[in-house]
Structure 1
Amino acid sequence: MKLFKKRQAHVLLRGGEVVSRDLGKDYDEGKFVEWGSITKTVTAAAAAVLVDEGRLSYDTPAGELVGGRLPESITVDTLARHTSGLPRVHPGMKGGINHDPYEGTDGDFLTDLLASFDESLLESPGTVSYSNLGYAVLGRIVETVTGEPWLPSVRSLVLEPWGLAEVTTRPPSDRWAAIKGFDGKPHTPWSLDRSAYAPAGALWSTLDVLAEYGQTTVERGGYDDPRRGWQETEGRWWHNGQTRDSGSCLVLDPNADVVVATHALARLPGSADRLADKLIRELDEAA
């Protein structure tokens, strides 16, 4: 139990102020954590900015922007909503703890995949079906419209205007919050930073900055738009993420003006979610 506590951390904000903050011993001050799929909400926010600026339309078929053989039914809107019918990942993707599923999935890989796309791969288009591949394509659309790679694009469209510093896709290894091997070295994270899937899960920052991102999202609004990637449960909006060795969760409670950011260095999916649930229950009981 003590070992697990060392490997989890949280930051809880109310009204933008820190009311609870606990960084386990494996989280030194200034260490970066993987956001995982929380990254998708940044990609969706970048697309929303482009729409607001008149540079992009949600109704545009994705194929008109990224080329390839995507059917016209797949639009910017359906990608953002997870209703495009694209599978969760590309066919043949290998998983497993000891294998990097993102190795070899660079930009050229996505271009080739789109060029050879077969409509038989679609899974129940029009219904919500979570898709990392869909957000890889949405990220490519952001790149196409801005003329810049995905990370500089989301920095200029979202992160910098929101005042969020030191958000990146691969911090120096001495700043990773990561499980260490028997040799004392941190496990190497998946190569999302070099992958076309980066828009679906590659961001890192300190846990404080992740909480700040949640607070700014509440203040700026838009989280209740299904095209922004957030999920809703009982008036709270949330997103989570799971990478090789860690999990993350970010919960927004606009009615209570509360934001909870959690992280767990654990291969067991849902660890960060359970920590967030526990903190919120304690907050409700104290109210």
Structure 2
Amino acid sequence: MNTVLKFGLAAILAAFAVPAHAMPDKVIPVAGDAMASVVAIARAGNISGAFAIVDTSGDIQEAVVGLADRDRGTPHREGQSWIWASITKQVTAILIMQEVERGRLALDTPVGTYLDTYAGRPITVRQLLQHQSGLPNPSDTPRDAEDMQSYYRETGSVISDAERARGFCAGVPKRVSGGAFEYNNCDYQVLGALLEVVTGLRYDQLIDQRIARPLGLESLRMAADGEQGGGADVVGYTDGKAYPAINVATLGAAGALVGSVRDLARLDRALMTGELLSPEARATLWSGVPALGYQALGVWSFSAPLKGCSAPIDLVERRGDFAGTQVRNIIAPSLGRAVIVFVNDEKVDFGEIWQGTGLSHDLLAAALCSSES
């Protein structure tokens, strides 16, 4: 059972690499038509979830398919709250870049400059953002009878970002920092603690003041400690059963945000239009590193061919997988469009966009490309 989505794309994407900033010569489908195609693909694949398409201008297209709670027969509805899972990391990276723009953080400065616990360690802010810290990994903690890591069932003060940064995540490193990519929630919980020290605000206050209120995101909040399902309106599933009880709040700045699909669409639009970061800061945020599987800062950034598009499309992808919920948040900067998919089934196979087949590829092709091959 996977409780945390891991990625090992470096070797594959390096072999697949195509020129960056490729521009298609066809006009993208009208958003309403694109959404109709997305829904048709979801229905044909018996996919249960919520979908959104948002452009830099124009309305947000939103649709839902299937059941939010299978046992009760409750259908998905627009506006319902979902676990954002590791989309939270994308938001944390935005907050970090805001502090870089303010001159209070530097990406290549050791974390110990800001957090005394890490004094003398060579780990940089950038290495945390790109999962090169070498820190202890929550995925390695013991599993219980339901195959759940103990880290994600803890409650109380120990689960705060500050306490994780001082406690578990500050333990004996697994490896030297700056080396191989290893997906690790500790990296972003340490970043959450760093943000609180640098800004003097709790992470939830930063979300409210920097993201939610400026963008009018009424649903966005942090899951409360011990809150069933993180307070989401959707039941997550695995192997046809409701996902075992898990404390979503344990993920903090790595994965504890909860909110609606529409609010995520508004966030994407604000990113594309420059409301949250300057063009220069956004370019840094979205600069993928081939040697790290095109990992950028809190996202993956690469180009991929899509059926119906005449040239490869630049894509910024953020994935999430936690507590039976999977998320795909994909921005096509050169097209000014983002595509969002939430499903409440851990076992849905999205495939890989770059392979030219599979659910992610087909949904993107429908949303971004001409129906002509």
AA of the residue aligned to 1:133: C
Query: C-alpha displacement at 1:46, in angstroms?
Result: 0.7
Q: How far apart, in 2, do the equivalents of 1:61 and 1:219 lie?
A: 31
Query: C-alpha displacement at 1:79, in angstroms?
Result: 1.1
Normalised to the residue count of structure 2, the TM-score between the two structures is: 0.65
Q: How far apart, in 2, do the equivalents of 1:2 and 1:96 lie?
A: 35
Is 1:61 aligned to residue 110 of structure 2? yes
AA of the residue aligned to 2:77: D
Q: How far apart, in 1, do the equivalents of 2:130 and 2:185 lie?
A: 12
Question: Which residue is 1:238 aligned to?
Answer: 317
Question: Which residue is 1:149 aligned to?
Answer: 202
Closer, same or farther in 2 for the Cα pair 1:53/1:124, shift >3 Å?
closer
Q: How does 1:1-287 map to 2 (within 5 A)?
A: 5=46, 7-18=48-59, 20-26=61-67, 27-69=76-118, 71-89=120-138, 91-94=140-143, 99=148, 101-104=151-154, 106-107=159-160, 108-114=163-169, 117-119=171-173, 121-122=174-175, 125-170=178-223, 176-179=233-236, 190-193=246-249, 195=250, 197-220=251-274, 221=279, 222=282, 223-225=285-287, 228-234=297-303, 235-268=314-347, 270-271=349-350, 275-282=359-366, 283-286=368-371
AA of the residue aligned to 1:118: V
Provide structure 2 residue ranges, at least 5 long, that are not aligned to the other structure: 1-41, 68-75, 289-295, 304-313, 353-357
Query: C-alpha displacement at 1:201, in angstroms?
Result: 0.9
Which segment is superposed worse, 139-148 or 1-10?
A: 1-10
Which segment is superposed worse, 97-106 or 57-66?
A: 97-106
Contact persistence 1:32–1:176 (CA under 8 A): yes
Contact persistence 1:85–1:122 (CA under 8 A): yes
Provide structure 1 residue ranges, at least 5 long, that are not aligned to the other structure: none
Contact persistence 1:264–1:272 (CA under 8 A): no
SS at 1:255 equivalent: helix
Q: C-alpha offsets along residues 10-50 of structure 1, whole Å, 9 cap, x if unaligned?
A: 11123443475321242223211111111101111111111
SS at 1:144 equivalent: helix
AA of the residue aligned to 1:215: R
Contact persistence 1:13–1:260 (CA under 8 A): yes
Contact persistence 1:247–1:271 (CA under 8 A): no
Q: C-alpha offsets along residues 139-176 of structure 1, whole Å, 9 cap, x if unaligned?
A: 11011112222111232233333443320123887851
Aligned length: 280
SS at 1:286 equivalent: coil
Query: C-alpha displacement at 1:109, in angstroms?
Result: 4.4
AA of the residue aligned to 1:102: Y
SS at 2:53 equivalent: strand
Query: C-alpha displacement at 1:191, in angstroms?
Result: 1.5
Q: How far apart, in 2, do the equivalents of 1:270 and 1:128 lie?
A: 23
Q: How far apart, in 2, do the equivalents of 1:134 and 1:19 lie?
A: 33
Say what the alpha-carbon RMSD is for the aligned residues: 3.3
SS at 2:221 equivalent: coil
Query: C-alpha displacement at 1:53, in angstroms?
Result: 1.3
Query: C-alpha displacement at 1:272, in angstroms?
Result: 9.2
SS at 1:77 equivalent: helix
Q: How far apart, in 2, do the equivalents of 1:11 and 1:256 lie?
A: 16
Q: C-alpha offsets along residues 208-227 of structure 1, whole Å, 9 cap, x if unaligned?
A: 11122112111125142456
Normalised to the residue count of structure 1, the TM-score between the two structures is: 0.82
Q: How far apart, in 2, do the equivalents of 1:85 and 1:48 lie?
A: 22
Query: C-alpha displacement at 1:228, in angstroms?
Result: 3.1
Contact persistence 1:252–1:260 (CA under 8 A): yes
